[in-house]
Structure formats: C-alpha cells, structure tokens
Structure 1
Amino acid sequence: MDKMSESMFMPEKAAIYIRVSTDEQNPKNELEDCIQLCKTRGWKIEGIYEDKGISAYKDKSKQVNKQILMEKARKGEIKHIVVWAIDRWTRKGGVELLTELNILLSYGCQLHSVKEQWLDELNIPGEIGVHVRNFLTGIVGWIAKLESIKISERVKASIAFKKAKSEGKVGRPTIEKKKGNKIIKEIVRLREKERMSFGQIAKKLKIGKTTAYEKYIAFKKGD
C-alpha cells in the first residue's frame, strides 16, 4: 500500500482546546466530553491545549495556546479543533467567531463545540460556505450594532433621569422643596391678605427682607 493510500485510511488529527479563568472550576469534566467527541467522530487526538487564568475577552496575544492551534491549523498539522463550548474559544461575539471560522476553514481545519453542535453546520467547505458565513457575519454584526445603540440609549436615559431627579424635576418633592413652597405660600398670604410689609413678613417668618421680596416677585412672575 503506497503512502497516498495509507493517508486515506489514517484518522484525521484533532486538537482539544481548554480555557479556564481563575474563577472557574476544574475543567476535568469538560475535557472528558471533548475526548469523547473525538472518539465518536473517529479522530486521533493530536494534543490537549489549555490556557489558564485568562479570559476570552482579553487580548489574543495572551491566549498563547489558542494562537499555537491557529498556527498548527495553518500548517495543516490538525484538521479539527474541539472545544467544550464556544465561549471557551471566544467571548467577543458572533462576528469574531465567524471570522475565525473562515480563517480556520481556509486552512482546511474545522472548529467543533460539544455544547453547540450546530456549529458543524457552519463548517461548509468551499465558496458556498464562505458566502453563508459572510451572510451570517452581516446579520450578527447588525444585531450587535442594534444592541449597542440600545445600551447607549439606556445609558443616556439613565443619566438624564438622574440629573432630572437631582434637580427635583422627577419623583416626590424633597423636604427642602416642600419647605420652600410652604414659605412662599405664606409670604404671598401675608403680603396679599394680611397686607404686611416685606419687613414685617421677614420678621414673622424669620427670613431676610430681601429673601421675602425676591420669593414674592418670583412667585408673581411664575418662576
């Protein structure tokens, strides 16, 4: 049997990628699930790669073993990468996931997830697969943009509400405002019904004469 014939019957090589943050549990169970998937598919496990104590949100340069796997895929040393869940590979959203899928597939390597086996449906080879993933990338990007706009609007609304609340424009009147309104009403009553001078009003309410005058004028102007 020549080498070409032998290669046709050799199992394809797969690598398992495990990523564990410092606050996550031991990945032993996840690893066993990944190994079982490889056995079920008939793939030979080339190696197990683990990035510890980092987050998939962080800079790619810190995900050392992930970058090693990308390079192995580029060289054609592996045909499959298996993760327990997509968020072990990336948590930066659908656009990055689909972008990296396109890169891996251009190398002839597929990404698989134990928890999200629908990912296999995106491993379509050739030009058709590229079009499908590009289409999905556009949709995911559009959804992400809408979500970003919604978040921005919620933040702006929250800031506006807090500002209005601090200025006493929403919610129940503050004690100070209630007290102020009561004094103004009393100034108006004493001035218009009791015919008191501002000096007399100030003495009775224990406030400044100027204050009594200004509050009365402001009330009459509707401020």
Structure 2
Amino acid sequence: MGHRAAIYARVSTTDQSCERQITELTAFADRGGFKIIGIFKDITFGTKTNRLARNRVIKLAQARKIDAILVTELSRWGRSTQDLLETLNRLSGWKVLVVAMNGMTFELNTPHGCMMATILAGIAQFERDLLSEHVKSGLAAARARGKKLGRQPGQRPKSNKLTPRVLEALESGKSYRWIARDLGISKNTVTDIVKRNRENS
C-alpha cells in the first residue's frame, strides 16, 4: 500500500498490554506495507485521560503528513461515540484513514463508511438522550430531597479546575458548544475560561 501511518495506542496505568499493542501494530503495519511515521501513546489515569498524543496525531493528519492511523481497535481512538464520529469526519476530510488491527478501514466517504457514520450518529444521539434522562431524573430526585440546585449567592464557579480540559479540547479543534456539552458547563463559562487564559498568557 505504501501509506504513511501513525501508530496510536491508548492504555491505562493498570494495563500491562502497552508494549503488546505497539508490537502487534508494528507487525500489522509491516504486513500491510505501511510506512510508520511515528508511534504515539496516551495513558489513562483512573477516569482521566491525557490525550496529548492523540492531538499530535490529529495535527499530523491535518498537515497531510500521514495517510492512516493504526489502532488495535476503534475504542482506543474515540473517547465517546460522538467524539469518534466527529474525529472520523475530520480525518475523512483530510483523506486520512483509521485502520483497526482486525483489518477494518474506517473512511466515512465510502458507502460502508456512510453506513457506519449513520449508525454512530444514531448511537451518539441515543447516548445523549440517555444522559439527558439521567440528568433530569437526578435533578428531580435532588429537588424531592430538598436540595438547593444551582450556584448559591456568594459562590464562585469551579471553572479553574476545568481550564486544562477546556484548553485541551479547544486545541484539538472542538467548538465552544461541544466543549460546554461535554464538560457539563455553559458556553459562557467556556468563553470566560478561554478569555482569562488569553489575558494571562
């Protein structure tokens, strides 16, 4: 094939298969005739994931320095169904493929890719609806217990803790609206965080 490829692995601190992922993907690249441009690895700490390596891969794709991204499985690439769909769409616009080790190639501008995009979009909508139902149910239960919701007078929003995540998402090309929805904050909060960061830079 002769495609230029980036190997991407995502592991947790308790995952012992990090080197195995890379070894298997390297062998897979060799069998497929891919030219490895770089090997990138992100590590999950509990529920928090450092995605700096994935951001570097996306920048390579945007700069047209790679033709494919090799992963052991699609779940290693996407944080969520919505995130997966959005990044696959962006990569498709740059003519960059995501290839899983089982041989499946994800390219959204093909008939197979369009079908997969439709399925992913449906799953993403289902996840959003399910999350919305859970939030509404939780709020209703909290109100029933007499809990006061929302920011109380004199309280300041805890946006400082979210600043790194907002800036990382912004750097990866996410919109203010997407970031707000993903982090469960308002779009105005996202705007304030970005504004404060620019003022302090």
Q: Report the CA distance between 1:17 and its aligned residue.
A: 0.9
Aligned to 1:111: 98
Q: Report the CA distance between 1:33 and its aligned residue.
A: 1.7
Distance 1:108 1:34 in 2: 21
Structure with the bigger percentage of strand? 2
Distance 2:92 2:54 in 1: 16
RMSD: 3.2
Distance 1:20 1:94, change over 3 A: same
Aligned to 1:96: 83
Q: Report the CA distance between 1:21 and its aligned residue.
A: 2.2
Unaligned stretches of 5+ in structure 2?
Answer: 146-201
User: Based on CA coordinates, which of the two structures has the bigger radius of gyration?
Assistant: 1
Q: Report the CA distance between 1:144 and its aligned residue.
A: 0.8
Distance 1:57 1:87 in 2: 16
Unaligned stretches of 5+ in structure 1?
Answer: 1-9, 164-223
Deviates more, 1:38-47 or 1:138-147: 138-147
Q: Report the CA distance between 1:44 and its aligned residue.
A: 1.3
Distance 1:15 1:152, change over 3 A: same
Aligned to 1:147: 130
Distance 2:11 2:131 in 1: 28
Number of aligned positions between the proteins = 145
Distance 1:113 1:146 in 2: 29
Note if 1:123 corresponds to 2:103.
no
Aligned to 1:68: 56
Partner of 2:61, secondary structure, is helix
Distance 1:11 1:64 in 2: 27
Counterpart pick for 2:28 among 29, 37, 40 = 37
Q: Report the CA distance between 1:132 and its aligned residue.
A: 4.2
Aligned to 1:20: 11
Task: Report if the CA contact (8 A) 2:108-2:117 is conserved.
Answer: no
Distance 1:73 1:55, change over 3 A: farther
Distance 1:132 1:54, change over 3 A: same
Identity value in percent: 20
Letter in 1 for 2:107: N
Letter in 2 for 1:110: L
Task: Report if the CA contact (8 A) 2:42-2:54 is conserved.
Answer: yes
Q: Deviations over 1:140-183 (max 9, x none)?
A: 222213432554476579879x97xxxxxxxxxxxxxxxxxxxx
Letter in 1 for 2:91: L
Structure 1 segment 127-206 matched on structure 2, within 5 A: 132=115, 134-149=117-132, 151-152=134-135, 155=138
